[in-house]
Amino acid sequence: MNKIPIGKSDFKTLRDEQMFFVDKSLLIKEFIDTDADIILLSRPGIFGKTFNLSMLRYFFEMRINPDGSPDESLNYLFTDLLIWKEASDYLNLQGDFPVIWLTFKDISYNTFVDSLRKISKIIQYEFNRHRYLLNGNISETEKNQFNEILNGTNDPQLLEIAIRLLIELLERNFKRKVMVFIDDIDTPIYTGFVFNYHDKIRAFIQNFLGNSFKDNPNIYKVLMTCTLNVFRENSFSSFLNFNAYSLTDPDFNTFFGYTETEMTGILNQYMLQEKSAELKKWYSGINFGGNTVYNIWSMNNYMASIQTEPCAFWSIDIYDELLKHLIITSSILVKQGVFDILSGGSTEQSVSADFSLPDLGKTDESFWSFMVHYGYLRATFVKQDHNKSIFKIEFPNIEVENLFVGTIKKWLDETVGEDRILFMIKAIKSCGVIERTPSYFEVGKTPDTLDSVEQLFYEFINAISTFYKFKDSETGNIVQVLYIAILLYIKNTNRVLRAHKTDYGDSIIYIVPKYWNGVKDDVPEGELAALNQSVIDYMEGKKHGPKAYIIGCRLPVYRNETLNNACTLIHHRLNESPYIDPITKLNISNIVNIAAGVSRYRIDVFGSNYGKSIMQQLFSHTDEKGNISKRSRH
């Protein structure tokens, strides 16, 4: 079997070393058949953009030695591929064009100066490949500019016109129009956005592309790849006339990633047929124009490492902080959609093929578009709603879900602390114990009192509030973060139902056993250990049935409504329809209610089990009139 290439994306290298690859050579035909002279293809990373672009380069490039003499033909790289067998009309184009090749994929510097220096080196390398042009038909001015670039100039104005100069010299020398391939053209702009020099790098790339391609009669075709189409803004589209194809378009939809048909052949070749269903759950799911594909990076790594079980190979790297920032600063509607997806469901949202990076995080559509185009989420077309395309959004596979969840958990661990979150969940699930037990404040003791819940809620919300810097009017968002923290840390043993807002503005979180649907359901094979203990007890005929928890949170919204009033009000509502309906419909009668009045720096908590106040059961904190006395955390 051929060796699996890891970290190699050069088409010629893979062919010369007889390494494993999947034949995507009919991309050559589709590229030529596309009417546009300038094409922008957006695809997530790790799906083969660089490899495909290098394949196009080696097919079309006229091979020239540094001294200007013809180099060996590369047609041997293609003679056994589909392009040679099924598209013979295109073979006369092989090796017929001068080609410019640039890749911006490694530009990830935190300053504009460093990024510009890297761009200079990339252009310098390409000029050095074509330095034989200095001996051809070239003016003195052009020669001086050429030599400056060869010497590694960092002059932005010279770099902005460099590719146009090279195109003109190539066309003049070979009397043949030029092809240009640029890989990951959006990386400098995106990196500039992450590191706060977006305006400078964006202006440079705008001038660079405009000077290179606008009204340039010496171009045959240009193909640029990107992850995000950030080039539809007026300042770009006004001077650069191109056709853009995003991952939601049907064009080019089989040439990036491994298709189902290709995977069948791969699994047969590497004798992994029995792993087919599992690998599909882990690495498939991204939808390219109606065609579901596997990501190449993870599949290649899996095959190369001979793993007995699939695992995560993809990482977010530079985009980790931006992903957290987007989730933190997004609207309540975006957060709700994210929580629906994290709960194992989906959400329907508008997705655009292009957007402005400065708007990222400011509109709901920009958030979902970013998440889909980076491959974090899968988009399946649902309908056209006026001028917007609506898609079903969900996790594409287990690998991406784990990646996404891991990123959020990492942020929660840094902000709140895993120990505190786990202790808070334990305190919640310990409520309803009749006998009084030591409080959270006694070191080494278990958090079996509502006082512990109150303290831990307070610490959690205080940590989140400090990080978010929310206003009092936005405190409801903190409840959403509470929901996601509970969800992520107990999703293996419990279902955490949607933290919805009621007509009164209350936020409700439900925790129920993972596999409980109102009857003694059959448990999936191998999943018994993940069951909630209360379900196991019930299935084994023990006394108590499944236990559910309802956490109701209310922000004081009425004039003169105190935190204690808010807590009391929602506490009464938790025993009423429709608040309790999602639990009673599951035939669960063992219910713990926890009510919380929430403000930015204060919290009031109490609860009940079977309608009796836990505070009365445990502490009997009453005033002279017999009412429960509450202590707010400040």
3 state SS for 518-542: CCCCCCCCCCHHHCCHHHHHHHCCC
Q: Is the peptide bond before 578 cis (omega within 30 degrees of 0)?
A: yes
| Residue 351 three-state SS | coil
**Weakly modelled stretches of the chain, pLDDT under 50:** 432-448, 472, 520, 529, 541, 609-634
In a domain, 600, yes or no: yes
504 and 394 within one domain? no
Same domain membership, residue 542 and residue 613: yes
Residue 606's region, left for phi above 0, alpha for psi from -120 to 50, else beta, is beta
pLDDT of residue 580: 85
The verdict on 163 and 279 lying in the same domain is no
- Residue 5 belongs to some domain of the structure: no
pLDDT number for residue 2: 82
Same domain, 232 and 282: no
- By CB atoms closer than 10 A (0-12, 13-18, 19+), residue 38 is buried
Pair (278, 352) in one structural domain: no
Do 95 and 156 belong to one domain? yes
Last residue of a domain, one of 245, 270, 292: 245
Question: Amino acid letter at 315?
Answer: S
Task: Give tens-digit pLDDT for 344-391.
Answer: 789 999 988 777 777 777 788 888 988 888 888 999 889 988 888 899
pLDDT score, position 418: 84
User: What's this model's pTM, rounded to 2 decimal places?
Assistant: 0.80
Beta bridge partners of 219: 178
Quote the domain boundaries for residue 274: 258-305
Predicted local distance difference test score (pLDDT) of residue 489: 84
Ordered DSSP codes for 566-592: HHHHHHHHTTSTTTSHHHHTTT--EEE
Burial grade of 256 (CB within 10 A; 0-12, 13-18, 19 or more): buried
Among candidate residues 129, 216, 207, the one with its CA nearest the CA of residue 178: 216
Residue 250 lies in a domain: no
Q: Select from 401, 435, 455 the last residue of a domain.
A: 401
Q: Are residues 453 and 592 in the same domain?
A: yes
In this structure, the answer to whether residues 290 and 156 fall within a common structural domain is no
In a domain, 410, yes or no: no
Report the chain's terminal Cα–Cα distance, integer Å.
67
Q: Is residue 2 part of a domain?
A: no
pLDDT of residue 398: 92
Q: Which residue has the tokens 């879900």?
A: 401
Are 299 and 323 part of one and the same domain?
Answer: no
Domain count, the chain: 4
- For residue 253, tell me if it sits in a domain: no
If asked whether residues 482 and 538 sit together in one domain, one would say yes
- Evaluate whether 327 touches 408 at the Cβ level (below 8 Å): yes
- Report pLDDT for 602: 61
Q: What is the pLDDT of residue 337?
A: 84
Residue 361 and residue 499 share a domain: no
